[in-house]
A and B are shown apart, each in its own frame.
Chain A
């Protein structure tokens, strides 16, 4: 589906360069024993701007980066060049920016992370993962949350959701590892016919090499009952920490502190070991289709 005019930079988006650059800047600052306040002052910004930069949450002005490197005493020209090049990549727009009119900032941020991830682990309690949804199912879910929106808004939201799925068919797809509660598979979102073809689509994507779907049946899974849906994103760069993403009704939560990530990773690991092994997914889905 992706059109030919997209440059590689646009496909991967600015998120990972931001995170890598932020991480390096933090290490240089700490190495030079300089406070965030002092660093902020140097680039005519606040302490919290430095923190947002170091967490990879914002774009970078090249001049800010070079000023900070001066302050931190980084003179090696190769290092400086690699960081200014990262700063340029960190400002490239992602494909999703053209959907800005219907997207909240927090979802835009998620798309950046999703596009950049090497492994995406999700736990789905209510719905089928957006990356696997059929158009009809996506429309039904969208209507649930935006019933009063104008028709063209709904269309744009559905098309954004489907556009996200290009990720799976791309040249270098992430590994998507989903644990889904049986309830999300039995609830006929959009009606029985829509749900049946959604389940058929799930059987198809589960066969992809880079997609793993595991079901937590009602007969198992204390952990499934203990919390809501969440996503853990992993990036191939060893310096970039995992990010936990939790969607709420009107906002989203991003966690990348080690203790938080540990906790969610532990729950995800419990869920993955409690769930049926992936080889049993197709049969389980076929059973539900038969009963639906």
Chain B
């Protein structure tokens, strides 16, 4: 079912964990207040914070979008199958927890190609008895392979929600649009696509990101709001469309904050 222990590079132990360069999932974990990060990640995270202190709020706020989007999808939209590519390290309110709180029979396929993320997901992102969690070791650069395996784990005659949360920034437009187009094309009609990523609308954010991209970590590209809109081509946008994350169906008691991270949820007709 899953491809275990694919060959890895960059670490001598052969486990795919390199603690000598900062690692995006671990830095993100650090900004979110998690404990699964190393000195090299905290250092890179702190350097980033010095230039753009807002990143912690961006991280928290983006997770908040994930929670509200999954709650909407499992609730109002009636979705029971989720394909979450770019899982990241476990934090509070992981996809299956939010979905299964609304609908315990929800089925989630977590996809990542990072061995550390996969090990954590298999151990800690475990389903309620009524639902299912599956873990897929695959690279999003090969969307065809992901769709093939996912088709064996999910029922593609019924709606599926595709989630790309904070991962497409790792690709240039030339790489990113074809990947997303291919994945969305594979979704059954009535399926949904949800995405958030960092936007290039703040100078400090841009500057901090540039420093980060030169640190040896896998680079991450900030996009304009127009570039975000392009991801949803051919889809019916769920209200309020492509917006900064705090503005997407905010909780009634949410305080307005200015955030340079954009998101959207589209429905495949």
Contacts and interface: CB of A to CB of B under 8 A. Distances in A.
Given A234-B35, A269-B116, A274 B127 contact: no
Contacts of A177: 123-124
Nearest to A242: B35
A273 B127 contact: no
Nearest to B129: A209
Contacts of B129: 209
Contacts of A277: 2, 4, 119, 122, 135
Nearest to A240: B35
Given A177-B123, A177-B124, A209-B129, A273 B38 contact: no
Contacts of B36: 265
Interface string A224-239: 0000000000100010
Interface residues of B, number: 26
B115 A273 contact: yes
A272 B119 CA distance: 6
Given A234-B35, A259-B39, A262-B38, A270 B124 contact: no
A241 B15 CA distance: 26
A212 interface: yes
A166 B83 CA distance: 36
Contacts of B13: 222-223, 270, 274
Interface in A168-185: 175, 177
A167 interface: no
A212 B123 contact: yes
B39 A262 contact: yes
A175 B38 contact: no
Interface string B100-120: 000000000000000110111
A266 B119 CA distance: 13
Interface string B141-168: 0000000000000000000000000000
A270 B15 contact: yes
Contact of A210 (B33, B39, B126): B126
B18 to A, nearest CB: 11
B17 interface: yes
Contacts of A259: 39
B64 to A, nearest CB: 17
B169 interface: no
A36 interface: no
Contacts of A269: 15, 17, 116, 119
A188 interface: no
A220 to B, nearest CB: 9
Interface string A272-292: 111011110000000000000
A209 B123 contact: no
B123 A273 contact: no
B124 A273 contact: no
Nearest to A276: B4
A9 to B, nearest CB: 25
B19 interface: yes
Given A273-B17, A278-B122, A209 B127 contact: yes
Given A241-B35, A265-B36, A273 B16 contact: yes
A241 B129 CA distance: 31
A265 B19 CA distance: 11
Q: Which interface residue of B14, B15, B19, B115 has the most chain A CB atoms within 10 A?
A: B15
A21 interface: no
A175 B125 CA distance: 10
Contacts of B126: 209-210, 212
Nearest to A272: B119
Nearest to A236: B92
A41 B33 CA distance: 35
A119 interface: yes
Contacts of A214: 123
B63 to A, nearest CB: 14
Contact of B33 (A238, A266, A273, A274): A238
Contacts of A241: 35
Q: Which interface residue of A209, A222, A270 has the most chain B CB atoms within 10 A?
A: A270
Interface string B32-50: 0101101100000000000
A10 to B, nearest CB: 27
Interface in A19-77: none
B127 to A, nearest CB: 7
Given A210-B126, A223-B15, A269-B17, 6 more contacts: A234-B35, A241-B35, A262-B39, A269-B119, A276-B4, A277-B135
29 contacts: A119-B124, A209-B127, A209-B128, A209-B129, A212-B122, A212-B123, A214-B123, A222-B13, A223-B13, A223-B15, A234-B35, A238-B33, A242-B35, A259-B39, A262-B38, A265-B36, A266-B19, A266-B38, A269-B15, A272-B123, A273-B15, A273-B118, A274-B13, A274-B15, A276-B4, A277-B4, A277-B119, A277-B122, A278-B122
